[in-house]
Amino acid sequence: MNQVKVFVLLAGLTGLFGTVGFLVAGRMGMILALGLATVMNVVAFFRSAKMVLRAYQARVVSESEAPELYRIVDRLRQRAGLPMPTIAIAPHSQPNAFATGRNADNAVVCVTEGLMRLVDQDELEGVLAHELGHIQNRDMLLQTVSASIAGAIGNLSSFAMVGGQRRRGGSLLGLVFMVVGPIGAMILQFAISRQREFEADRAGAEISRKPLALASALTKLASAAQRVPMRIPPSVAALAVVNPLAAFGGVTKLFATHPSTAERVRRLEALAAEM
């Protein structure tokens, strides 16, 4: 069912793109916007790991620098049938983690210093397995596709006034779509992100075989994120295992990058009962 929801949301993004392009920018404007978005996202796709690590101020660490972390990731990735990812640590007090990279062969798993201090080993395994679940599910590629479409819609808004002036009342139409189009795309993109978190939770529970440990870790991390700020660009917040910007204020469900922790815990508890 989650896969169906993601397909519907992607279809919604595509449909919104087509509608905005037709009503606002015309055929040539739509093609130009898609081309610009594609170029930008292809560059971002191949450089995503470096860009994200820079945004989180993270550094790649060697096995000699973090032997226990390497040992856990290596054991879990073998269980998941994945190549060994690059390991990185971010110098943040907030406990969190994320995965990035364009595919499994170029993946990076990063944890914050705060995560290493807060959770026990079982909980750490659950969090790391969750990130490996993202890699296993090829979520980085999906995020790039959704970002490409959402970026194209954002580019179309820059043509809105010009395209709208071609018809009577077009200026008002263009102004409306300058605002509504990107917001709609953002809502759909975040909805896709929330669904992928559920799937990564399930995959992580299956990889670690410790769904309750992951549930416990999520509860600790979500609570800490409310108290300990992490100053990162909002564009990379969706990659983290819990919302890293929670300390800066709540958002509506439509604009939430992550599903509620309570719902994630409930699903993991149900999964534990089945295992």
8 A C-beta contact, residue 147 and residue 140: no
Reading across the β-sheet that carries 97-100, which strands appear in turn? 59-60, 86-90, 108-112, 97-100
* Tally of CB atoms within 10 A around 233: 12
Nearest to 169 by CA among 24, 18, 19, 22: 24
Nearest to 93 by CA among 64, 67, 57: 57
Whether 125 is catalytic is no
8 A C-beta contact, residue 71 and residue 84: no
Residue 101 per-residue DSSP state: S
Rg of the chain over Cα atoms, rounded to whole angstroms, equals 20
Interatomic CA distance for residues 244 and 230, integer angstroms: 6
8 A C-beta contact, residue 122 and residue 161: no
**Would you call 152 exposed, middle or buried from its count of C-beta atoms within 10 A (0-12, 13-18, 19+)?**
buried
Helices 170-208 and 211-227 meet at what angle, rounded to 10?
130
Nearest to 76 by CA among 192, 213, 195: 213
> How long, in residues, is the chain?
275
Which of the following is catalytic: 68, 113, 125, 131?
A: 131
Q: Catalytic positions, please? A: 131
